[in-house]
Amino acid sequence: MTNSEQGKTYLGVPVYRPKTAFFELSSCEGCQLQLLNNESSLLAFLSLVDVVNFREAMTERSDAFEIAFVEGSVTRSDEVERLKKIREKAKILVAFGSCACFGGVNQLKNRFSREWTKKEVYGEHAVETEFARPLEDVVSVDLKIFGCPVKKEEVEKIIINIATGKSVIYPKYPVCMECKANENICLFDIGEPCLGPITRAGCDSWCPNSRFGCWGCRGPADDANVEQLKVIMKKHGFSEETLLDRLECFGGFSDFAKEIRETIS
């Protein structure tokens, strides 16, 4: 049955609702939960797309989808196969959240050997676990939605753009711009480190609004000036290790972090 056959019309014109599926690889499923949590706009969202697969929300399953949102990083061989099958079926594959875009918090384990991780985490009940990888290490990705978790308002805006054929434009500027617009006190002035100057905006300065420094979950803004942030951190008495802790947390800044580690080793 096509979407127009389902009877959704606007001013008498059939409305096209793309068949949409949500999947998870290794993840906490918090990004999917963000969408479901948005009760005030959930019904409006559901009128826009035809959700055919969403394990957290429904029991029905279908392999006939056009847009696939994939949450989580790739950490097992069965996930590689599953992801390739999703890619074959999807016209648009969206990396959903920082685990899918950068490896996310899962990639923190990549600094240890696989044997060590298996022993320390699973003990005698070892399971297969490889290094955590972002989706685009395995398949091509059409679109990324950043954040740990994703910001639901931003996801809905992006989905509206996909469904109505508009381009998706990410903010190029850093979180600091949103933080200033929100009239927050700069956390550096009250003794808290923050990656806001180099992190891509779009979360509406979520953490600094609650007086928590940014940890860079959305990855680098365009032209992120990490060298200048190093100067700011030093001026406020923070060590390079403090900076590295944050740069290495979600995987989006891993190239920058590697470069800094090489200079101090």
Closest Cα partner for 31 from 78, 94, 82? Answer: 94
* Residue closer to ligand SF4, measured from CB, 31 or 48: 31
* Residue closer to ligand SF4, measured from CB, 52 or 203: 203
Q: Write a three-state SS string for 1-59.
A: CCCHHHCCEECCEECCCCEEEEEECECCCHHHHHHHHCHHHHHHHHHHCEEEEECCCCC
* Residue closer to ligand SF4, measured from CB, 3 or 38: 38
* Angle at 96 (CA atoms; ends 105, 206), nearest 5 degrees: 65
In degrees rounded to 5, what are phi and psi of residue 110?
-65, -15
* Residue closer to ligand SF4, measured from CB, 55 or 91: 55
**Contact positions vs ligand SF4 (CB under 6 A):** 27-28, 30-31, 71-72, 97-99, 104-105, 147-149, 175-176, 179-180, 184, 186-188, 194, 196-197, 199, 203, 205-208, 214-218
Min dist. Cβ of residue 176 to ligand SF4 (A): 3
* Residue closer to ligand SF4, measured from CB, 20 or 32: 32
* Residue closer to ligand SF4, measured from CB, 24 or 50: 24
* Residue closer to ligand SF4, measured from CB, 142 or 192: 192
61: its two tokens: 């399953």
Asked whether 250 and 241 are in contact (CB, 8 A), the reply is no
Min dist. Cβ of residue 135 to ligand SF4 (A): 12
Residues in Cβ contact with 67 at an 8 Å cutoff, skipping those fewer than 6 apart: 18, 19, 20, 21, 49, 90, 91, 92, 94, 162
Asked whether 205 and 175 are in contact (CB, 8 A), the reply is yes
Neighbours of 40 (CB within 10 A): 8
Min dist. Cβ of residue 9 to ligand SF4 (A): 35
CB-closest chain residue to ligand SF4: 196
